[in-house]
Structures are given as C-alpha cells and as structure tokens.
Amino acid sequence: MRVKKYIANNMPEAMDLIRLDLGPNAVILHSEKVKQGGILGLFGKTKLEVMAAVDTDLLDFPQKPARNGDHAIQAMRDELESLKVAITQATQSRPALPAAAPRVASLEDWYQRLIDQGVSQTLAHDIIQRVANELSRWTLDNQGVLNEHLHWYLGRQLPAPSPLTLTPGQPHVFFIVGPTGVGKTTTIAKLAAKFAHAPYHKARVLMITTDTFRVAAIPQISAFGEILGIPVEVAYTPQQLNELIARHSHRDLILVDTPGRSQRAASEVAALTDYLAAVPNKTVHLALTAGSKQEDMRHTINAFSSMPLNGLIFTKIDETASLGAAYSMACECGLPLSYLTNGQRVPEDIEVATAEHVVDLLVGSVPDEIRSTRNGASPNSVSVLNRRYSYGA
C-alpha cells in the first residue's frame, strides 16, 4: 500500500492529481480543509488536504502496457504527463483570492504592529481574530474605519481606569507599593503636589513614609515635602501608621510611601502587609516599571498578590519605546490602571492612564478627522486631575 498526501484547491483538482500520480485505482482515505501560509494560522489560504492510497501491486498500471498496444499506451502516458504539468502550472500561478486581499494586508499590518510593540502573541492573535470576526467586509477594507475600530477595541480590553478621586469629608488613604527603585516616592510627591496645588481646590495633603529601611528614604521624602510645602510624617510600625492616620483624619488625602520590596523576598512583602492591615479604609496601587519584561511583571504581581491591590501605576514610560508588555499585563491581570509617569520632574511628569491615552502610546494616535465616535478624555494630566478633583471648585 502506498499512501500520499495532496494539497489542492478543491476536490476535483485533488482527484486529478491523485489519478495522475497513483493511477485510477487510488482511493481517498481522508480529506480536510487546511490553512496554508499566514501567521499563527491567520491570513492563510484555505486549501484541501487529501490523503490517498493505492495498492502497490496495482501501482504499475501505466508502466505495464498491454502486449499489443505499446504505442497507444505510450501516447496516453505522454498526454497524461503533459496534462499533469499543465495542472501543476495552473495551480501554482493561480492568483490569491481577490476578495480577501485588502482585508489580509490590513489586519496583518495591525498584528505585526502589536507584536513589534511587545504585545504578547496570544493577546495580539486573539484581538486580531476577534476584530476579523466582528467586522463587516466593508469595515475591514476601509483603512480609516479599521484603524479607529482597533484603537477602540484595544482600549476596551483594559479595565476602566481608576485614578484618585476625592470625596469631601472623607479622607482618602492611598498607598503605593512595588519593587525597589520603580519610582514610588517620586510618584507620591507628584500626586501630592498635583492635589495640594490644584488651581480650583487645594486639597489638604499629608505624605507618610513607612520606608525606614533605606538610609536615604526619609531625607528624600522630607526634601520633597519641604520644596512642595506639604507635611511629611514617618511611621516606624503599623501601629504608628494607624495612629498617624487617625490623627490626620481631617486631611483630604494621605499618601503613604512604602519601602521597595523584592518580589523574591516573601518575608519583606509580608512585613509590608502588616502596615496595610493596620489601615482599614485605603486604596493600594502597585507601581511597575513600564519597560519591564512581561514575565517579570507577572512575577511581581504574584509576589504582591497577598495585598489588597486596587490598581496599577506604570512608571518610567519615557524610558521605553514599547508599551506592549505593560499593556498585555494590564489586560491579563485585570487591575485598573491609574497613572503613568513619564519623567523625573515633580510634579509635571505624571498622567492619568485613560484607555485612550494608553492605546495612543501603544500604537500611535488616530488622526483627528476619523476620531469621530470616541469620547476620550484629554491625556493632559493637569486638566484630567483637576476635573476629577472638582468638588468645591
């Protein structure tokens, strides 16, 4: 028995190939549609894969001419041979399906752009696949509409952003936790300044540090406090933190800085958890460096998962050219984003992480003329912060 696999555009074409190759006694064992070419199974052409077999005893059929018909048989074989060549040539030179061409090019570009930005392959594949399934042919063929839809779709994958919002009469306690050196203290100072010096309502802000490990930590935040005119307190124990917060309950916003914790040191993370447990009403955001590898971010989130995390802050977006790993991580972990920091300047270099702004940073912005259906807020940090903090203005 000789078994062979054939790829053809349709069953009649496959049958012709099989007949020419294996002879008239060949039988079809199995056939199925397959995708050829493309990326990860996307954008490929649909072909038919046919498995055929022939009994090898019968395989010599064309090569064993009847005793008295040599010439006729040879002529038939020649004709079959030329037919075979013609079919092969026709198959190879067949143009791609014209209807599918524009759609493939455009979605392929988008897929590549996401991958180039560091979006995980699984997520990029999933997004492109779903957009391809959802949109009509007309939409897929229209570059402008497709771009806008993909922007919107990428934004929709992110949880709704969760920046700080203050309520009159309710002191808000906001912790920033995270690995060492990600920019926690600087971000605390930026937020303190934004809220304390907002043009319409100057919030009563206090900064507390629980970082009594690093020698320079207290002078660092004290210096920020002095320059910005914002009081700073130090909590050496969870109990002290609790007492400080109770004593400052008239404040609008209490920002709590924490020591950098290594994701590998479980005991360090546990010690920090005690500080958080001492404060009943609080918001805890984890700061991650935007340019980190997705795998490292995943480890960090796991290491901090014993804490009641409410959101993510991506820092140092000015130091990375690709935000794809951060974007993928935000989609994967489901924690809302609050802020992006984009430089060392206090307080300027911080922005609210609206979905629209994150997507603009990820893949570039949609031109204004096709920004029709989007109701995105301005990425301008000052105006967004002020709008959110509009009570009493």
Ligand X SMILES: Nc1nc2c(ncn2[C@@H]2O[C@H](COP(=O)(O)OP(=O)(O)OP(=O)(O)O)[C@@H](O)[C@H]2O)c(=O)[nH]1
* Residues near ligand X, by CB under 6 A: 180-186, 211, 214, 217, 260, 315-316, 318-319, 341-344, 349
- 27/54 Cα distance (integer angstroms): 6
Residue 84: which residues within 8 A CB-CB, separation 6 or more? 17, 20, 21
The interface partner of residue 47, options being ligand X, Mg ion, none and the CB cut-off 5 to 8 Å by kind, is none
Q: Which two tokens stand for residue 35?
A: 């995708």
Pick 243 or 319: Cβ nearer ligand X: 319
Q: Which two tokens stand for residue 62?
A: 């064309």
Q: Compute the C-alpha angle 291/259/288, nearest 5°.
A: 15
Q: Which two tokens stand for residue 266?
A: 């479980």
CA distances from 21 to 50, 61, 246 (A): 13, 11, 88
Pick 127 or 337: Cβ nearer ligand X: 337
Nearest approach, Cβ of residue 117 and ligand X (Å): 19
The interface partner of residue 109, options being Mg ion, ligand X, none and the CB cut-off 5 to 8 Å by kind, is none
Pick 162 or 342: Cβ nearer ligand X: 342
The residue of the chain with the least Cβ separation from Mg ion equals: 185
Nearest approach, Cβ of residue 181 and Mg ion (Å): 8
CA 194 to chain centre: 29
Nearest approach, Cβ of residue 288 and ligand X (Å): 11
Pick 211 or 360: Cβ nearer ligand X: 211
Tell which residue, 6, 13, 4, 3, has the closest CA to residue 34: 6
- 137/102 Cα distance (integer angstroms): 10
Nearest approach, Cβ of residue 228 and ligand X (Å): 14
Q: Are 54 and 27 in contact (CB under 8 A)?
A: yes
- 210/241 Cα distance (integer angstroms): 8
- As to burial, measured by CB atoms within 10 angstroms (0-12 exposed, 13-18 middle, 19+ buried), residue 208 is buried
The interface partner of residue 117, options being ligand X, Mg ion, none and the CB cut-off 5 to 8 Å by kind, is none
The interface partner of residue 190, options being Mg ion, ligand X, none and the CB cut-off 5 to 8 Å by kind, is none
The interface partner of residue 343, options being Mg ion, ligand X, none and the CB cut-off 5 to 8 Å by kind, is ligand X
The interface partner of residue 116, options being Mg ion, ligand X, none and the CB cut-off 5 to 8 Å by kind, is none
- 238/277 Cα distance (integer angstroms): 8
Pick 18 or 182: Cβ nearer ligand X: 182
- 237/234 Cα distance (integer angstroms): 9
Nearest approach, Cβ of residue 272 and ligand X (Å): 11
Stretch that binds Mg ion, among 131-139, 181-189, 199-207, 247-255 (CB under 5 A): 181-189
The interface partner of residue 341, options being ligand X, Mg ion, none and the CB cut-off 5 to 8 Å by kind, is ligand X
Pick 165 or 212: Cβ nearer ligand X: 212
Nearest approach, Cβ of residue 211 and ligand X (Å): 6
Instruction: By CB under 5 A, tell whether 185 contacts Mg ion.
Output: yes
Nearest approach, Cβ of residue 256 and ligand X (Å): 12
According to DSSP, residue 340 is labeled: E
- 325/116 Cα distance (integer angstroms): 11
Pick 47 or 184: Cβ nearer Mg ion: 184
CB atoms within 10 A of CB 180: 13
β-strands 283-289, 253-257: how paired? unpaired
Nearest approach, Cβ of residue 175 and ligand X (Å): 13
- 233/238 Cα distance (integer angstroms): 13
Pick 70 or 274: Cβ nearer ligand X: 274
Four-point Cα dihedral 92, 98, 103, 108, nearest 10: 20
Pick 117 or 341: Cβ nearer ligand X: 341
- 90/94 Cα distance (integer angstroms): 6
Nearest approach, Cβ of residue 255 and Mg ion (Å): 12
One-letter amino acid for residue 260 of the chain: G
The interface partner of residue 315, options being ligand X, Mg ion, none and the CB cut-off 5 to 8 Å by kind, is ligand X
Pick 147 or 354: Cβ nearer ligand X: 354
Instruction: Name 134's bridge partners.
Output: none
**Number of shown-chain residues binding Mg ion (CB under 5 A):** 2
The interface partner of residue 172, options being Mg ion, ligand X, none and the CB cut-off 5 to 8 Å by kind, is none
The interface partner of residue 318, options being ligand X, Mg ion, none and the CB cut-off 5 to 8 Å by kind, is ligand X
Enumerate binding residues for Mg ion (CB under 5 A).
184-185
